[in-house]
Structure 1
Amino acid sequence: MQVPTYLKLSVAVALATIAMKTAAWWFTGSVSLLSDALESLVNLAGALFALAMVLLAAAPPDEEHPYGHHKAEYFSGGFEGLLILGAAVGIALAALQRLLDPQPVEALGLGLVLAIVSSALNGGLAWALLRAARQHRSMALEADGRHLLTDVWTSAGVVVALVAVHLTGWLWLDPLVALAMAANIGREGLKLVRAAADGLMDHALEPEVCADIETVLEGFRHATIRFDHLHTRRAGSRRYVDLHMHMPADWTLRRAAALRGAVEQALMAAVPGLRASIQLLPADVEAHFDDPRDLK
């Protein structure tokens, strides 16, 4: 299943959970269930924006974006994080108002059934999204999956709170749990915003991926062949490696280009989604790019 398909499924599940949670709030009058329904609206907005960013990220390079649009997915994570923060503020305000003016909870059984069913839907979808995010290295899927997972824990807290209210008659438990939910949701929103901002920077590839790259290069190293100035970076789901390959100065261009092609193909076969760029240099020539290693 492709990334856009997962996000379309997320939109469909968000619509279903909005309907169920809104009905649960309508029947019970619980402010914590209202908070849960509001978060589902954020889920829907986040999934729609994530879908738009994934489609943009898949667009081919153009004159203004010669390296493609892969980083667009990070905007999805940041946007969803901001939406979560906004929902947390709204939930907190509603909870504070209900804490000052407690209201009885009604039709508890039906409300709990609807909350549990919607939570189960979100839980299954969150598991699928996080698994797909690892497979496709998609920030958009990871952000949506983590948000849904937060929603599952939130719903679990709501169910516990409503049962406690029913058993004890302590009406203040309902808004108190809603406040705790707001704090938890806000924390998750901050984490998503931070991760999205961090992703827009040119980070090196994961240590295990760099180790795979080194293993491939080791297979080509020779007394007359060496590699240096190796740099890696991530851009959305795409991975890049740039390096210099030094070889004997008396080699023909055809022979040198053939070896470079073999190294590039081996690197891209070892690391899915990798784009390798190798600059050819004679063995006795160094390239200087204000690298501290070259200035020693």
Structure 2
Amino acid sequence: MNDKIKVAHLSIASNAALTLGKLAIGITMNSVSVISEAIHSGLDLIAALIAFFSVRESAKPADERHHYGHGKFENVAGITEAILILGAAVIIIHNAYPKLFGRTEIHSLDMGAAVMGISAVVNFLVSRKLFNVGRRTDSPALEADAWHLLTDVYTSLGVLAGIVAIKITGLTIIDPLIAIGVSLLIFNAAIRLIRNSMQSILDARLPEADERVIKEVLNKYSPEFVEFHKLRTRKAGSQRYVDLHLVVPGHMLINKAHNICDQIEEEISDRLSGIHVLIHAEPCALNCSDCRQTAAGKSNSVSCEILDKNKLLGGKPGNK
């Protein structure tokens, strides 16, 4: 959590400096594309503040009101950030559109090029830091903030290219065209952020790679049980949740079944960070030879056709 707070502070500081710098240069130049970049950075600053407060809130433990913790605060933050940058895109288009039909004087092109170049470099470095920490801690809020800054890198480079083109050609219409292009990139980033955050809000299943890890662990312990079913997964912020039913031989002692569940839970937790596993053990209702051998203390090898079929992970439950 200290790493998440530190990198959130870094994002706030860099965005504040870049917003003020771009706004001052944009007003001096009378450039709508540079001012649009200042607006974009201003929204990134607000997004960085939201990310900071959300990671701090999501770190709080479960309480009487939030039994499953506060992880979804980060998902709400991601949606809020996306809505903010959608608003920025609308403002940029509103300001740029009238300038498509009238020539405007643009000053201090060299100064504008310098601030755009500095902005691209700073945002690239900060976004990489945010991505590294966000992915390591599985933080949707930090990853959303990183995407904002990476988008800012692309748009800053676009504006820089526009300034160079204006200096070479003298065509000032390039300025509003670049601004509108910036807004389209912002729209794309916002829609992606909303889609990713909504999946967690609506309890979408974990990614296929995560579920593959869970099934690999279950397969490793498959000689100890009959089969599993009702595997369900979801995510809240950086926290993952898994629950499933584990069918064990009918005469297996309760403490042995409990130990198997503990081993499975522990290994899944070792391989996937921030995961909460809940396993419901239930007895196999079929009085097959495998269950009788287990009760007699013999080997737990499968010896009937029904169990051979049910040993396939995710197959039909043995007690149905």
When the two structures are superposed, what TM-score results if normalisation uses the length of structure 1? Answer: 0.91
Q: Aligned runs of 1:79-118 on 2, under 5 Å?
A: 79-118=80-119
Aligned residue identity for 1:192:
L
* Paired residue secondary structure (1:228): strand
CA contact (8 A) 2:75 2:236 kept: no
Task: Check if 1:181 corresponds to 2:182.
Answer: yes
Per-residue CA deviations over 1:158-181 (Å, capped at 9, x if unaligned) read 111111111111111111211221
Q: Evaluate the alpha carbon distance shift between residue 62 and residue 96 of structure 1 in structure 2; reply closer, same or farther with a 3 A threshold.
A: same
Question: 1 CA distance for matches of 2:259 and 2:191?
Answer: 49
Q: Evaluate the alpha carbon distance shift between residue 178 and residue 283 of structure 1 in structure 2; reply closer, same or farther with a 3 A threshold.
A: same
Q: Evaluate the alpha carbon distance shift between residue 245 and residue 293 of structure 1 in structure 2; reply closer, same or farther with a 3 A threshold.
A: closer
Task: Check if 1:40 corresponds to 2:41.
Answer: yes
Task: Check if 1:49 corresponds to 2:47.
Answer: no
Question: 2 CA distance for matches of 1:10 and 1:164?
Answer: 31
Task: Check if 1:59 corresponds to 2:60.
Answer: yes
* Paired residue secondary structure (2:82): helix
CA contact (8 A) 2:227 2:317 kept: no
Q: Evaluate the alpha carbon distance shift between residue 191 and residue 223 of structure 1 in structure 2; reply closer, same or farther with a 3 A threshold.
A: closer
Aligned residue identity for 2:19:
I
The answer for the alignment partner of 2:124 in structure 1 is 123
* Paired residue secondary structure (2:222): coil
The answer for the alignment partner of 2:293 in structure 1 is none
Question: 2 CA distance for matches of 1:20 and 1:207?
Answer: 43
The answer for the alignment partner of 2:31 in structure 1 is 30
Aligned residue identity for 2:281:
L
Question: 1 CA distance for matches of 2:184 and 2:195?
Answer: 17
Question: 1 CA distance for matches of 2:198 and 2:49?
Answer: 20
Task: Check if 1:272 corresponds to 2:273.
Answer: yes
* Paired residue secondary structure (1:170): coil
Aligned residue identity for 2:274:
G
Which one has a bigger Cα radius of gyration? 2
Aligned residue identity for 2:263:
A
* Paired residue secondary structure (2:70): coil
Give 1:101 deviation, angstroms: 3.4
Aligned residue identity for 1:120:
V
Give 1:223 deviation, angstroms: 6.8
CA contact (8 A) 1:241 1:274 kept: yes
> Can you give the 5+ residue segments of structure 2 that lack an aligned partner in the other structure?
287-315
Question: 2 CA distance for matches of 1:231 and 1:237?
Answer: 17
Give 1:140 deviation, angstroms: 0.7
Per-residue CA deviations over 1:166-204 (Å, capped at 9, x if unaligned) read 111111111121122122212222222222222211122
The answer for the alignment partner of 1:288 in structure 2 is none
The answer for the alignment partner of 2:164 in structure 1 is 163
Higher RCO (CA-CA < 8 Å; seq separation 6+)? 1
Task: Check if 1:198 corresponds to 2:199.
Answer: yes
RMSD of aligned residue pairs (Cα, Å):
2.1
The answer for the alignment partner of 2:222 in structure 1 is 221
Question: 2 CA distance for matches of 1:55 and 1:147?
Answer: 20
Aligned residue identity for 2:40:
E
Q: Evaluate the alpha carbon distance shift between residue 105 and residue 236 of structure 1 in structure 2; reply closer, same or farther with a 3 A threshold.
A: same
- Of stretches 164-173 and 100-109 in structure 1, the one that deviates more from structure 2 is 100-109
The answer for the alignment partner of 1:257 in structure 2 is 258
The answer for the alignment partner of 1:289 in structure 2 is none
Give 1:250 deviation, angstroms: 3.0
Question: 2 CA distance for matches of 1:221 and 1:198?
Answer: 31
- Paired residue total: 290
Q: Evaluate the alpha carbon distance shift between residue 239 and residue 283 of structure 1 in structure 2; reply closer, same or farther with a 3 A threshold.
A: same
* Paired residue secondary structure (1:222): helix
- Of stretches 41-50 and 105-114 in structure 1, the one that deviates more from structure 2 is 105-114
The answer for the alignment partner of 2:311 in structure 1 is none
Aligned residue identity for 2:176:
P
* Paired residue secondary structure (1:2): helix
